[in-house]
Structure 1
Amino acid sequence: MNDNGNTFLGLLAGTAIGAVLGILFAPDKGVNTRQRLSDEADTAKHKISDLAHELKEQALSTASTQKKSLDEHVESIMTDVSYKAEDVISTLEKKLKDLKEKNKNLQKS
């Protein structure tokens, strides 16, 4: 998880803890306190769910971008290798032609 995610989780946890402590120490009936705690828990649950969804989307986006970048890099390498292989083949064919010519000249002599 990145620093922004950790910071957000820290703020979320601090807010939830502060809300729970505030409700527990506030002078109110037990029924009202339990309802507030339940409401705060639901709110925290939704915030965490939203954060998890956002982090999942970021991870998928990053993975997709990295895959595309890797595919482009592999394609570039394959193109370079292909051109270099053609150069090597051309050079070898030229040398083979020269050797055949020399061999032909030696056989005439």
Structure 2
Amino acid sequence: MKDQAKIIAALLVGAAAGAALGLLLAPEKGGDLREDIADYINDLVDTAKNKAQSTASDIKDYSSSAIDKAKARFSGTVNDLYDRGEDAVDSAKSKAREAADRAKDLGEDAVHEAKSKVKGTANDWNNSIQSA
């Protein structure tokens, strides 16, 4: 964008210089010549102002568009991260429940096995006492 503005400025300056030389070399009266030069320079200034306003407007539109795109992309990324975080938490909760259930089952199995061994030992002792 800067290069384009430099080119436009150079063209305007060149055109102004060329027009000024052309008017200076033209066979007119001094007052008419000065008036023509002033009119031409005023026209150039107006053209430059309009071009600058147009360029500023284009830059503003482009930057607004870029900002909107960045906001949308950032918002989407935040939402994706939030969803992934929720999925990770749900997965962790599920695995924790599974581990707790498995631990409970293993604990219950161990209790039943211990009761069975105690009962077996008690029966063995009872039988040995009654046989004696």
Question: Same fold by TM-score, threshold 0.5 exceeded?
Answer: yes
Runs (4+) of structure 1 exceeding 6 A deviation are: none
Q: CA deviation at 1:29?
A: 1.8
User: Aligned residue pairs: how many?
Assistant: 109
**In the alignment, what sits opposite 1:84?**
84
Q: CA deviation at 1:89?
A: 1.0
**In the alignment, what sits opposite 1:17?**
17
Unaligned runs of 5+ in 2: 111-132
2:56 equivalent to 1:56: yes
More off after superposition, 45-54 vs 5-14: 5-14
Bigger Cα Rg: 2
Once residues 17 and 104 of structure 2 are traced to their aligned partners in structure 1, the CA distance between those partners, rounded to angstroms, is 93
Once residues 107 and 6 of structure 2 are traced to their aligned partners in structure 1, the CA distance between those partners, rounded to angstroms, is 81
| Structure with bigger RCO (C-alpha 8 Å, 6+ apart) | 1
What's the CA shift string for 1:5-61, capped at 9, x where partnerless? Answer: 333322222211100111122232211121111111111110111011101110111
Once residues 41 and 10 of structure 1 are traced to their aligned partners in structure 2, the CA distance between those partners, rounded to angstroms, is 15
TM-score (normalised: structure 1): 0.86
More off after superposition, 57-66 vs 22-31: 22-31
The alignment-based identity, stated in percent, is: 23
Paired AA for residue 38 in structure 1: A
**In the alignment, what sits opposite 1:36?**
36
Once residues 61 and 10 of structure 1 are traced to their aligned partners in structure 2, the CA distance between those partners, rounded to angstroms, is 25
Once residues 103 and 80 of structure 2 are traced to their aligned partners in structure 1, the CA distance between those partners, rounded to angstroms, is 34
TM-score (normalised: structure 2): 0.73
Q: CA deviation at 1:66?
A: 0.5
Once residues 40 and 66 of structure 2 are traced to their aligned partners in structure 1, the CA distance between those partners, rounded to angstroms, is 38
